[in-house]
Amino acid sequence: MEQAMETGSGTASLGSGSDPETMRTPRSGDGSRANGSGATAGQGGMEERLARALGWLSVGLGALEAAAPRGLARLIGAPERPGLIRTMGLRELASGVGILRGNRPTGWVWSRVAGDAIDLALLGAAFRSPWSRPGRIAAAAAAVTGVTILDVLCGRELARQDGTAEEAAAGAISVERSLLVSRPPEEVYRFWRDFEKLPTFMRHLRSVQVMDGTRSHWVATGPAGTSVEWDAEIVEDVPNQLIAWRSVGGSDVANSGRVRFERAPGKRGTMVRVEIEYRPLGGAVGSAVAKVFGEEPTQQVTEDLRRFRQVIETGETATAAGPSGPGARSLRSRA
């Protein structure tokens, strides 16, 4: 009865079926650079100085890893694997040189974040080794986590200053999904129109605050536990049929989308068709980094849709203990 809808049109819909899949359609831009954030020259200079400092950190760490891999392994309490550590050093050197040589080092800063994610994964594996020193590895992991957060914040600000031209060059990401739910269009529309309910099944959303009849403020989880925020406005609203929105200026992540509500044949409920398009921080590199952290919006839409079905049909959110477990949360009083 339910079928996943996949198209290459460059928009995104909530997929149905037992295992909806995500589609992406990159769109190329003109490759030009622009500063669309409205940031001042002083702010831009500060972020670039931070990026250069991170670049020199990469060069210094990369040189140490390449020249003394065994000594570094002993210092952080990890098993000695000189070949692997030298490879990590070359990666650090490449990121550092890229940052220091580039006029706008956004992509290279995000490459550092990708490297940080790899480092954390390797430290996690080393922690489980019988030849490791857990205390030292934990300290090293804490240091890498701190640097990762700094890298993410720097990359995010540089991407914001670079503006939409750079993001378009990296490619917009779009997702299409459709979902059949056993509720009438009027009820499904009312649920979606109350944006403050969306975090009940969209796990990446921390909060949605409705500001007036058409504008709302969204806060979501970003890479490495950071947060991203944006204001959105409704651009089209047809009761029981359609809701369309777009982010407004100054948003951390440019995005737009629409939800259609179509009455299913035979009084079987409503076919919900959702279309979303967004441009990740740092372009394609930022999207790849977010994947490593498991926080890219397109990765989460499948799980969100499964929860949406449960919420709209049963009035409860899913928990690790199951919908009937002690953590289940009823939404019927909010409907």
pLDDT digits (tens, 9 = 90+) for 242-278: 999 998 876 667 788 889 999 998 888 999 888 888 7
Q: Could you give the CA distance from residue 230 to residue 217 in angstroms, rounded to a whole number?
A: 6
Which pLDDT score, from 0 to 100, does residue 281 have?
A: 58
Query: Encoding tokens for residue 213?
Result: 């009849």
Lowest mean pLDDT among 41-45, 180-184, 264-268, 312-316: 41-45
Which pLDDT score, from 0 to 100, does residue 236 have?
A: 94
Domains of the chain: 41-162 (no CATH), 167-334 (3.30.530.20)
User: Strand pairing partners for 272?
Assistant: 179, 261
Residues whose CB is less than 8 angstroms from the CB of residue 158 and which lie 6 or more positions away in sequence, other chains included = 47, 48, 51, 104, 105, 106, 109, 282
CA dihedral (99, 104, 110, 116) in degrees, to 10, reads: 30
Amino acid at 38: G
Closest CA to 141 of 152, 157, 126, 151: 126
Q: Could you give the CA distance from residue 26 to residue 169 in angstroms, rounded to a whole number?
A: 9
Amino acid at 147: V
Give the burial string for 189-200 (b: 16+ CB within 10 Å, else e).
Answer: bebbeebebbbb
Banded pLDDT at 334 (limits 50, 70, 90): very low
Mean of the per-residue pLDDT values of the chain: 74
Closest CA to 221 of 290, 289, 163: 290
Whether the full predicted model's pTM is greater than 0.85, yes or no, is no
10 class by beta-carbon count within 10 Å (0-12 exposed, 13-18 middle, 19+ buried): middle
Helix 41-67 to helix 134-162 angle, to the nearest 10 degrees? 140
Considering only CA atoms, give the Rg of the chain: 23
Question: Which is it for strands 270-279 and 173-181: parallel, antiparallel or unpaired?
Answer: antiparallel
Which pLDDT score, from 0 to 100, does residue 216 have?
A: 93
Q: Is pLDDT above 90 for 132? A: no
Q: Could you give the CA distance from residue 127 to residue 119 in angstroms, rounded to a whole number?
A: 12
pLDDT in tens, 197-243: 999 988 888 999 999 989 999 988 766 567 788 899 999 999 999 99
Which pLDDT score, from 0 to 100, does residue 318 have?
A: 53
CA angle 324, 326, 329 (to 5 degrees): 70
Candidate ranges 139-143, 187-191, 221-225, 321-325; pick with highest mean pLDDT: 187-191
Lowest mean pLDDT among 105-114, 186-195, 217-226, 302-311: 217-226
H or E stretch covering 150: helix 134-162
Amino acid at 48: E
Query: Encoding tokens for residue 153?
Result: 């914040």
